Amino acid sequence: EAVLSFAGQQSRRALPQALAGMTPREIEVLRLIAAGLTAKEVARKLDISPKTADHHIQAVYAKIGVGTRGAAALYAVEHGLVRPGEMPA
């Protein structure tokens, strides 16, 4: 965390409370859709139903004020959740 702070970056631990009121799960979903995963792929990765994954995706869109995956991905990059070309763990 000290290295990130010195480099002018936010700690990833601090992000869940700071981003548009999103829950940690919604941030996780945002990172996955920013990496290009579909709702079905997000569901498989998180061991949830596709309907639940879609619900999370729609909640993320509403909270960050976007309507497309591209805009959500841009938001994720701009807020340090992912780097271009990075696949979240």
30 with 36: CB under 8 angstroms?
A: no
Q: Nearest to residue 73, comparing CAs of 26, 15, 32?
A: 32
pTM of the model: 0.75
Tokens linked to 32: 């996955």
What confidence tens digit (pLDDT) does each residue in 51-78 have? 999 999 999 999 999 999 999 999 998 8
Q: Which two tokens stand for residue 83?
A: 């780097």
- The answer to whether residue 89 scores a pLDDT higher than 70 is no
Distance of CA 26 to CAs 1, 19, 61, Å?
A: 23, 10, 10
Q: What gap in Å lies between CA 88 and CA 62, rounded to an integer? A: 22
**Domains contained in the chain, CATH given:** 2-78 (1.10.10.10)
Structure tokens at 47: 């061991």
